[in-house]
């Protein structure tokens, strides 16, 4: 045993010495760490409900991240998760075309995800999912009777964008991996088929007028043609896999046939690792045999996965549901095809096995997707009357949202309470003004204890978060939920005011005289104030707490000679504003870009925290973004220095740099300096 230990040490040493040269570069490692930190911030460990969250922990979490010096384009994720008070990404995820938060969902929630993907397959799948998401949203709008020409345009445009990317990526993949291409396009095709059916049905049941009916039919036609396109790609990819030839060859000479593949480890690995062998016909036989084995096995795996998915859903519906019988029949038919696949596989008929499995997988997928969609929209496949969409949406949201559990008045209890219900608009107005008051008191006085500042800040943030949610529910027409969120917001804002009143009463606090609140120019602030500090305060957090004016976060994206500047205009005040953005060239040589924002009153819709804007112009590729003005006044702000800001260059040669406005005064208030 002793000698064994020594020997093992020796073997270990050798292996360690032999492998120690393999490591990540410092840069890779640092970049990975930074992405991870950004991801952590993007997906923070949340406490079960806002109501129960320990106030201090959020703040210290922020401090933790500041200490870890996050930067980079991913900062954009942070800006949004924090500037919209920690829930924007979740809130935005529920936004639909036409909603104010929808652009946040499209550009940030979904955009951020792609940053974490580097493999082609992951990107492809994600693009496919995005295309399907757009259709789900359309379905949701249709179910609510909100799918009009404008929504149709938006959905159609985005769906076309995603589909185009899917097609482009699949075609690229097809050159090297027809198996994957066939699989992805096949799945896409099935999903689109299902959506087509669902959309047509939803439109029929819920169209409120001829306009919305027409809009839905346009989309249905678009989905139909996309499905046909996907089918075309799948067929082409399958032709490339060319099963017919190999069935004979494999049967005659089962080099890496199915049976082989599952038996002896050594031999198979060797068979796979040898180079292509020349067939009589001159084709690389081993390679294509491997491809067939892979195609068949992957189809089998996919069929099993989809079977489980369908079966799980099937288990959740009642026997007497009108969906039950047709869904079961489809699953049974799928099972027959699975059995046919098994049979074919055992006979080395890989082509037949593949076809059978693919067919089975398609059937299961369809059942699963129909059941999921039916659950979402409460639509019967059998043709019976659908319950009102409001009910079904409530159910959907019930699963997703955090329900504050300590709400006063038992608002979620089903309305059996005797309290006379205050009109929603009254509560909204009251809460808004309470939040504004609290902000004003926090901003207008100095000398608060740091813990009071943080605590009140957190309360205001929570109140604003609940307000934001309430707005979303209002857009969705869900009064019960809107009320619940407003009541929670009410409670948070009252508590914030209470704390402030107490602090002021204790006398350590005095009023600050702020000159010219309306002006945006801050000429006496030194450039690079943030760099001096060495850390990056979270602008949104500070803005929330102390910036008496507005803040802007901007991302500059270059694709070829197209420059896009997009971002948010954050409003610390409670009045609602619209923001128009114009991007212009500062000089004749097209090297400097200027963004002009102009604000106006918005009387229609208001999510009173931030407004998304986007402006585009053409300029030379190397043009830089140098100035920003709001309502004709240049504002003090900075571009993140290269050390802090990562320029992301993706495969489409898109360059993104992040800019943000600084909040120097705010940092002073918070005692960051």
Partner 1 sequence: MNQEETFLAAFDEYADSLYRHAYFRVSDAEKAKDLVSETFTKTWDYLVKGKTVDDFRPFLYRALNRLIIDEYRKKKVDSLDALLDDSNVPTGVFSELVEGSLEELELALDARRVPELLELMPESYREVVLMRYMDGLLPAEIATVVGEPVNNVSVRIHRGVQWLADYVKKREI
- Of 12, 157, 172, 668, the one binding partner 1 (CB under 8 A) is 12
- Of 27, 244, 265, 601, the one binding partner 1 (CB under 8 A) is 265
Q: For the CB of residue 69, give the shortest distance to partner 1 in the complex, in Å.
A: 12
Q: What share of the chain is helix, strand, coil (3-state, %, to 5)?
A: 60, 10, 30
- Taking residue 570's Cβ as centre, other Cβ atoms within 10 Å add up to 22
- Of 53, 55, 66, 68, the one binding partner 1 (CB under 8 A) is 68
**How far separated are the first and last CA of the chain, in Å rounded?**
62
- Distance in angstroms (rounded) separating the CA atoms of residues 538 and 642: 18
**Site residues (CB under 8 A) for partner 1, limited to 160-199:** 180
Tell whether residue 315 is a contact of partner 1 (CB under 8 A): no
**Site residues (CB under 8 A) for partner 1, limited to 278-297:** 290, 293-294, 297
Tell whether residue 54 is a contact of partner 1 (CB under 8 A): no
CA quadruple 514, 516, 519, 523: dihedral, nearest 10: -70
Tell whether residue 19 is a contact of partner 1 (CB under 8 A): yes
- Taking residue 49's Cβ as centre, other Cβ atoms within 10 Å add up to 14
- Of 266, 318, 418, 652, the one binding partner 1 (CB under 8 A) is 266
Which one, 44 or 51, has the nearer CB to partner 1? Answer: 44
H helices of 43-177, in order, are 55-67, 75-83, 88-93, 102-104, 110-115, 120-143, 149-176
**Site residues (CB under 8 A) for partner 1, limited to 119-148:** 119, 121
Which one, 82 or 140, has the nearer CB to partner 1? Answer: 82
- Distance in angstroms (rounded) separating the CA atoms of residues 556 and 614: 10
The SS3 of residue 70 is coil
Which one, 305 or 627, has the nearer CB to partner 1? Answer: 305
- Of 93, 197, 242, 271, the one binding partner 1 (CB under 8 A) is 271
- Site pattern 233..262 for partner 1 (x: CB under 8 A): -----------------------x---xxx
Which one, 7 or 221, has the nearer CB to partner 1? Answer: 7
- Taking residue 500's Cβ as centre, other Cβ atoms within 10 Å add up to 25
Which one, 35 or 495, has the nearer CB to partner 1? Answer: 35
Question: Among 106, 114, 113, 158, which Cα is nearest to 135's?
Answer: 158
Phi (first) and psi of residue 242, to 5 degrees = 45, 70
- The first and second tokens of residue 608, run together, are 């009173």
Beta strands 592-601 and 550-559, pairing class? unpaired
Q: For the CB of residue 10, give the shortest distance to partner 1 in the complex, in Å.
A: 5
Which one, 28 or 561, has the nearer CB to partner 1? Answer: 28
- Of 2, 17, 534, 652, the one binding partner 1 (CB under 8 A) is 17
- 611 within 8 A of 569, measured Cβ to Cβ: yes
- Distance in angstroms (rounded) separating the CA atoms of residues 233 and 337: 23
**Site residues (CB under 8 A) for partner 1, limited to 537-596:** none
Q: For the CB of residue 17, give the shortest distance to partner 1 in the complex, in Å.
A: 4
Phi (first) and psi of residue 599, to 5 degrees = -105, 155
Q: For the CB of residue 427, give the shortest distance to partner 1 in the complex, in Å.
A: 32
Tell whether residue 606 is a contact of partner 1 (CB under 8 A): no
Tell whether residue 268 is a contact of partner 1 (CB under 8 A): yes
- Distance in angstroms (rounded) separating the CA atoms of residues 597 and 578: 10
- Distance in angstroms (rounded) separating the CA atoms of residues 243 and 256: 15
Which one, 42 or 80, has the nearer CB to partner 1? Answer: 42
Binding site for partner 1 (CB under 8 A): 4, 7-8, 10-19, 22-24, 28-29, 32-33, 35-37, 39-40, 43-46, 48, 60-61, 64, 68, 116, 118-119, 121, 180, 256, 260-266, 268-269, 271-273, 290, 293-294, 297-298, 301
């Amino acid at each position: 045993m002793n000698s064994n230990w020594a020997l093992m040490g020796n073997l270990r040493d050798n292996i360690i010495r032999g492998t120690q040269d393999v490591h990540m570069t410092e840069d890779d490692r640092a970049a990975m760490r930074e992405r991870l930190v950004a991801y952590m911030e993007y997906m923070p460990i949340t406490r079960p409900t806002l109501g129960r969250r320990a106030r201090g922990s959020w703040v210290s979490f922020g401090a933790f991240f500041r200490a870890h010096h996050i930067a980079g384009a991913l900062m954009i994720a942070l800006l949004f998760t924090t500037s919209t008070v920690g829930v924007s990404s979740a809130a935005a995820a529920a936004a639909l075309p036409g909603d104010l938060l929808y652009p946040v969902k499209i550009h940030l929630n979904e955009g951020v995800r792609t940053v974490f993907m580097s493999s082609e397959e992951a990107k492809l799948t994600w693009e496919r999912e995005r295309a399907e998401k757009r259709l789900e949203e359309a379905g949701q709008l249709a179910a609510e009777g909100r799918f009009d020409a404008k929504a149709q345009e938006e959905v159609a445009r985005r769906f076309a964008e995603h589909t185009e990317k899917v097609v482009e990526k699949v075609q690229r993949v097809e050159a090297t991996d027809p198996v994957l291409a066939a699989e992805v396009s096949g799945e896409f095709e099935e999903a689109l088929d299902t959506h087509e059916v669902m959309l047509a049905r939803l439109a029929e049941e819920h169209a409120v007028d001829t306009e919305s009916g027409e809009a839905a039919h346009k989309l249905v036609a678009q989905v139909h043609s996309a499905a046909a396109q996907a089918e075309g790609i799948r067929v082409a990819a399958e032709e490339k896999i060319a099963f017919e030839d190999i069935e004979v060859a494999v049967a005659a000479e089962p080099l890496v046939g199915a049976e082989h593949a599952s038996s002896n480890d050594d031999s198979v690995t060797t068979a796979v690792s040898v180079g292509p062998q020349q067939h009589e016909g001159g084709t690389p036989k081993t390679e294509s045999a491997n491809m067939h084995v892979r195609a068949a096995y992957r189809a089998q795996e996919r069929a099993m996965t989809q079977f489980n998915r369908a079966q799980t859903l099937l288990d959740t519906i009642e026997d007497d549901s009108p969906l039950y019988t047709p869904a079961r029949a489809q699953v049974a038919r799928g099972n027959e095809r699975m059995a046919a696949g098994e049979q074919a596989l055992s006979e080395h008929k890989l082509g037949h096995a593949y076809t059978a499995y693919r067919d089975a997988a398609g059937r299961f997928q369809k059942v699963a997707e129909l059941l999921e969609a039916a659950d979402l929209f409460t639509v019967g496949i059998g043709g019976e009357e659908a319950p009102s969409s409001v009910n079904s949406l409530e159910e959907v949201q019930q699963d997703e949202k955090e329900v504050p559990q300590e709400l006063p008045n038992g608002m979620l209890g089903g309305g059996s309470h005797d309290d006379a219900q205050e009109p929603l608009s009254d509560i909204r107005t009251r809460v808004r003004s309470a939040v504004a008051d609290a902000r004003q008191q926090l901003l207008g006085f100095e000398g608060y204890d740091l813990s009071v500042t943080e605590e009140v800040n957190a309360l205001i943030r929570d109140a604003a978060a609940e307000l934001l949610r309430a707005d979303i529910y209002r857009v969705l027409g869900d009064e019960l939920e809107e009320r619940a969120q407003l009541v929670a917001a009410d409670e948070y804002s009252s508590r914030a005011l209470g704390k402030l009143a107490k602090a002021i009463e204790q006398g350590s606090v005095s009023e600050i005289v702020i000159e010219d609140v309306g002006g945006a120019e801050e000429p006496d602030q030194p450039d690079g104030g943030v760099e001096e500090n060495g850390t990056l305060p979270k602008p949104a957090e500070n803005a929330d707490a102390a910036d008496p004016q507005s803040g802007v976060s901007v991302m500059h994206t270059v694709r070829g000679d197209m420059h896009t500047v997009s971002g948010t205009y954050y409003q610390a005040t409670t009045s609602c504003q619209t923001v128009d953005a114009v991007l212009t060239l500062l000089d004749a040589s097209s090297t400097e870009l200027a963004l002009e924002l102009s604000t106006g009153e918005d009387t229609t819709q208001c999510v009173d925290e931030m407004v998304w804007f986007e402006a585009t112009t053409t300029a030379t590729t190397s043009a830089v973004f140098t100035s920003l003005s709001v309502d004709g006044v240049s504002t003090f702000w900075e571009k993140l220095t290269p050390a802090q800001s990562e320029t992301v260059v993706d495969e489409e040669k898109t360059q993104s740099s992040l800019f943000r406005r600084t909040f120097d005064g705010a940092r002073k208030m918070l005692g960051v300096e």
